[in-house]
Amino acid sequence: MTYKIRSIRADEWAQVKELRLAALRDPVAHLAFLETLDQAAAQPDSFWQGRAIGGAEGATGAQQIIAEGPDGEWVGTLTVLIEEAGTQDWTGLTVERRQGHIVGVFVRPEYRGIGLTEVLFDAGLEWAWGRDVERVRLIVHEDNDRARRFYGKAGFVLTGLVVPLGEDTEERELEMAVEREKL
């Protein structure tokens, strides 16, 4: 099978929504995403339209990249956010330098293990490097061993930054990053 790796278009919000809801149904979604299926499903169409516009081809602050099957089905995705130095990230920490941040990584279970995640990561990194970032990072749950192994194979290393998931839990997320000069 041939897969097309591309950025989404602004008018594809319904597909963005469908793939996100599929991701949130995955058995390890509680380790991979901070959002729940119920939270996402409750969002109005305007939310999904805005998300698609913000991550579509031509957008400068984010890019959602998909793997599209020969029948047009979206089978995988990731999004790269651009974080500017001096701003605060989602944890409340100050971003020290211009960087990319990979979020929302998902490949439908029946398409895993055939190299789509690697190709999506290559496309995401290429997009980020084209935006003159110094590094690209991601945050992974400490118990998501499968994802951590993959990210390591993709060149990401633990940075030592640990992000607690809240005051009422012992769970933590770990930052992994790849520096531009190492590529």
- At 112-161, the pLDDT tens digits run 989 999 999 999 999 999 999 999 999 998 988 888 999 999 999 999 99
Q: What is the pLDDT of residue 171?
A: 76
Beta partners for residue 63, in sequence order: 80
Q: What is the pLDDT of residue 90?
A: 81
Beta partners for residue 140, in sequence order: 174
Query: Rounded distance, CA 11 to CA 27, Å?
Result: 29
Is pLDDT of 23 > 50?
Answer: yes
Q: pLDDT grade, residue 165 (50/70/90)? A: confident
- At 72-95, the pLDDT tens digits run 999 999 999 999 999 998 888 889
**Does residue 172 contact residue 34 with C-beta atoms inside 8 Å?**
no
**Does residue 101 contact residue 140 with C-beta atoms inside 8 Å?**
no
**Does residue 97 contact residue 137 with C-beta atoms inside 8 Å?**
no
Query: Rounded distance, CA 40 to CA 83, Å?
Result: 23
**Does residue 65 contact residue 80 with C-beta atoms inside 8 Å?**
yes
Residues 6+ apart with CB under 8 A from 64: 7, 8, 16, 51, 52, 55, 56, 77, 78, 79, 104
Q: pLDDT grade, residue 166 (50/70/90)? A: low
User: Percent of the chain scored above 90 by pLDDT?
Assistant: 76
Beta strand ranges found along the chain (DSSP E): 4-7, 62-68, 74-83, 99-107, 135-141, 157-164, 172-179
Three-class secondary structure of residue 173 per DSSP = strand
